[in-house]
Structure 1
Amino acid sequence: MGDFQLGIGVATRQVILIAGPTASGKSALALRLAGETGGVIVNADSMQVYDVLNVLTARPGPDDLKSAPHYLYGHVSPGIAYSTGRWLIDVEGLLKRAELAEKTMIFVGGTGLYFRALLGGLSAMPAIPPDVRAHWRQQDSALGSENLHAILARKDPLAASTLRTTDSQRVVRALEVFDASGRSIVEWQKEAGIPLIDPALARKIVIEPDRKWLGSRIASRFAAMMKTGAIDEVKSLLTLGLPNELPAMRAIGVREICEVLAKRLSVEEAAELATIATRQYAKRQMTWFRNQLGDDWERLPFPPSG
């Protein structure tokens, strides 16, 4: 494997990107490549950045952390609405650290927007006045995501056509941007940013697992989570008294476990509902990777044949 050049010019080093849906074996591949290259692993999953939810977001365990250095895992309070922009700033800080200058950087995760920002830069966005931000956050709490999506469809049909009705975080963001600037967030996103990594010089891998295998793996993994600390994690999260609209509160499994704690669902029922939600999420991830990642990405079936 040759050298891969960083877009910001801080050093010449190997860079490997591993994308794929949840539970597809990305972390195992990252650990293997870290062992082969002496590299470090950098999180590219928007839920694994949060503290408290170690088990529920399937963050690397103690043995994994001993096997290779890991960065940007669990470094954000669940009380913060962490963004792609903030992740990119954190990554840039890592790339400039002298002690990592010659280390292979292995980015691994399932958040497509993180990879897009890493390779293509982040489009400039308008500053959002505090009163505009507060207004739409309040509307989200009062009206719910589907009603907000209907409002967005009237104000900015272009943006609404690209967003799911249940994705309240991005719907709110689109409304904020439109009110602050009078322009669609889609138009802002078309303005190119500055990439941190040259896409032509990085090794790029996307895992495309067998769906039946992945569905079974998701079910068994979530059942194990319920037995190994996920319920206690949600208890700890609830003690923080956080608003329901924060991303950490919307992690798959949090709502279902809350229903267990309220004695409205059994553990088995909650696990089944969360498994269904995870499979649906994995399907959306695979669709995004298939449509958004180009032919320059290596397509790796998993589990490997043979």
Structure 2
Amino acid sequence: MAATVLIAGPTASGKSGLALALAARLGGRVINADSMQIYARLHILTARPDAAAEARVPHRLYGVIDPAEACSAARWAELARAEVRAAHAAGAVAVVVGGTGLYFHALTEGLADVPAIDPAVRVGLSRRLAVEGAPALHADLGRLDPALAARLKPGDSQRILRGLEVALGTGRPLSAFQAAGGAAPDLGTVERVVVAPPREALLARIRRRLEAMAAEGAIEEARAFAALGLDPALPAAKAIGLRPFAAHAAGEMSLPAALEKAEIETRQYAKRQMTWARGRMADWRWVASAQETERIINDIERKLRPEGLTTQS
């Protein structure tokens, strides 16, 4: 029988390690559910699995989108559903792992079926954003889609743009599409896990990982990415740590200052991820230590092995 394991959690929590170990044990495929790891040219800065991990088990949806494009949750969900189906067809467990809560929501509950919109609408809105700023567009959204605007902060430029794009491009508020919902795919037998180490342990992991990134090429990667000259409003251009490391590469910031700035960004991001998880994933199984992780792997293996799953990948 088909089976899917969903593994969420904040950045630097160790969820990728759990996904790798579980996929290796069960003969599974790891499918990315991180909104930054899906972009190319950001291997180190987004802490994508390394070559050894990718050689150990198949990894899917890592670095598959050009950073000049914006990958929506709907687009990711479509790609992820195809990878889950492919894993199940091969008799493999689909191990979906990442820190983007909206991606998991899109995969498990479906998204609103919004019609295709003329790209020129978003281009015009992006130009307005650059000139007028997000708060001005948020005010417009308040008139066109007050329900959505009430849920968004005035500085949440990407979601404000999406709301305006849908309202202007379809004549219908995005909140109306969202209320209608969308069909969730069949994931087979599902196990849900949140990896959430204690706060102090997580903060220490964040610092160590940033230092390792800097030593392993993050600065050079940030320099090369900055040289692309992409629109700073694009999602990939907002990768955590990208700007401070690029500033250091350009001689505008010392390495200690860049690390401190990147650490602050990462901590803030982890806090937002935990807020989402507590609010939307409270009924998932929560893991806080390496010992628990091993028990989780053993427990999931016992549950899924009787389903007749193979070790094919």
Which of 132, 136, 152 is 1:163 aligned to?
A: 152
**Quick one: which of 257, 271, 275 aligns to 2:259?**
271
Partner of 1:132: 121
- Whichever residue aligns with residue 288 of structure 2, its letter is P
Q: Does 1:250 align with 2:210?
A: no
Counterparts of 1:13 and 1:305, CA distance in 2:
25
Residue aligned with 2:45, SS = coil
Q: How many residue pairs align between the two structures?
A: 293
Which deviates the most, 148-157 or 12-21?
A: 148-157
Deviations 1:213-240 (A, max 9, x none): 1111111111211121111111221232
Say whether 1:180 aligns with 2:169.
yes
Give 2:229's aligned amino acid: G
Residues 267 and 176 (structure 1), Cα distance of their counterparts in 2 relative to 1, 3 Å cut: same
Q: 2:83 and 2:220 mapped to 1: Cα distance?
A: 32
Task: Assess if the C-alpha contact under 8 Å between 1:21 and 1:207 holds in 2.
Answer: yes
Query: After superposition, where does 1:187-202 map in structure 2 within 5 Å?
Result: 187-198=176-187, 201-202=189-190
Cα distance between partner residues in 2 of 1:134 and 1:169: 13
Any idea what SS the aligned residue of 2:195 has?
strand
Deviation for aligned residue 1:72: 0.6
1:36 lines up with 2:25 in the alignment: yes
Give the structure-1-normalised TM-score: 0.89
Q: In the aligned structure 1, how far is the partner of 2:289 from the partner of 2:152? A: 29
Secondary structure in structure 1 of the residue aligned to 2:287: strand
CA contact (8 A) 2:197 2:288 kept: yes
Question: Contact 1:215 / 1:279 at 8 angstroms: preserved in 2?
Answer: yes
Aligned to 1:203: 191
Please identify, of 30-39 and 183-192, the stretch whose mean Cα deviation from structure 2 is larger: 183-192
The unaligned stretches of length 5 or more in structure 2 are 294-313
Q: Partners in 1 of 2:137 and 2:176 — Cα distance?
A: 20
Task: Mark the CA change 1:213 to 1:240 in structure 2 (over 3 Å): closer, same or farther.
Answer: same
| 2:77 pairs with 1:78 | no
AA in 2 matched with 1:164: K
Higher helix share: 2
Give me the whole-angstrom Cα distance separating, in 1, the residues matched to 2:262 and 2:43: 16
Instruction: Summarize the Cα distance change of 1:173–1:202 in structure 2 as closer, same or farther, 3 Å threshold.
Output: same
Q: Percent identity, aligned pairs only?
A: 43
Residue in structure 1 matching 2:214, options 226, 244, 264: 226
Q: Aligned with 1:288: secondary structure?
A: helix
Name the structure, 1 or 2, with higher relative contact order (CA <8 Å, separation 6+): 2
Aligned equivalents of 1:142, 1:258: Cα separation in 2: 24
CA contact (8 A) 1:152 1:174 kept: yes
Partner secondary structure for residue 158 of structure 1 = helix
Q: 1:178 & 1:289 partners in 2: Cα distance?
A: 29
Q: CA deviation at 1:67?
A: 1.7
The residue identity in structure 2 corresponding to 1:251 is A
Report the Cα offset of residue 256 of structure 1.
Answer: 1.3
Matched residue SS, 1:186: helix
Q: State the shift of 1:276 in Å.
A: 0.6
Mapped pair 1:261 → 2:277: no
Does the C-alpha gap of structure 1 residues 211 and 197 become closer, same or farther in structure 2, counting only changes over 3 Å? Answer: farther
1:282 is the counterpart of 2:274:
no
Residues 175-211 of structure 1 show CA distances to partners (whole Å, capped at 9, x for unaligned) of 1112223443222112221212348x30111122211
- Match of 1:48, SS? coil
Alpha-carbon spacing, 1:261–1:146, altered in 2? closer, same or farther (3 Å): farther
Q: Which runs of 5+ in 1 are unaligned?
A: 1-11
* C-alpha displacement of 1:165: 3.4
The alignment status of 1:214 with 2:202, answered yes or no, reads yes
Is the deviation greater in 83-92 or in 20-29? 83-92
Provide the C-alpha distance between the structure 1 equivalents of 2:21 and 2:135, rounded to a whole number of angstroms: 42
Alignment of 1:64-103 (within 5 A): 64-97=53-86, 100-103=89-92
Deviates more, 1:53-62 or 1:63-72: 63-72
Equivalence for 1:8: none
* Contact 1:25-1:302 at 8 Å conserved across structures: no
What does 1:7-22 align with in structure 2 at a 5 Å threshold?
12-22=1-11
Task: With the length of structure 2 as denominator, give the TM-score of the two structures.
Answer: 0.87
Counterpart secondary structure, 1:190: helix
Q: Indicate the larger mover: 284-293 or 166-175.
A: 166-175
Matched residue, 2:137: 148
Aligned partners of 2:2 and 2:187 also within 8 Å: no
Which whole-Å deviations, capped at 9, do the CAs of 1:228-265 have from their partners, x for residues lacking one?
Answer: 11111112212322111111111111121232233221
Separation of aligned partners in 1, 2:138 and 2:209: 33
Contact 1:84 1:114 in 2 (8 A): yes
Find out whether 1:302 has 2:304 as its counterpart: no
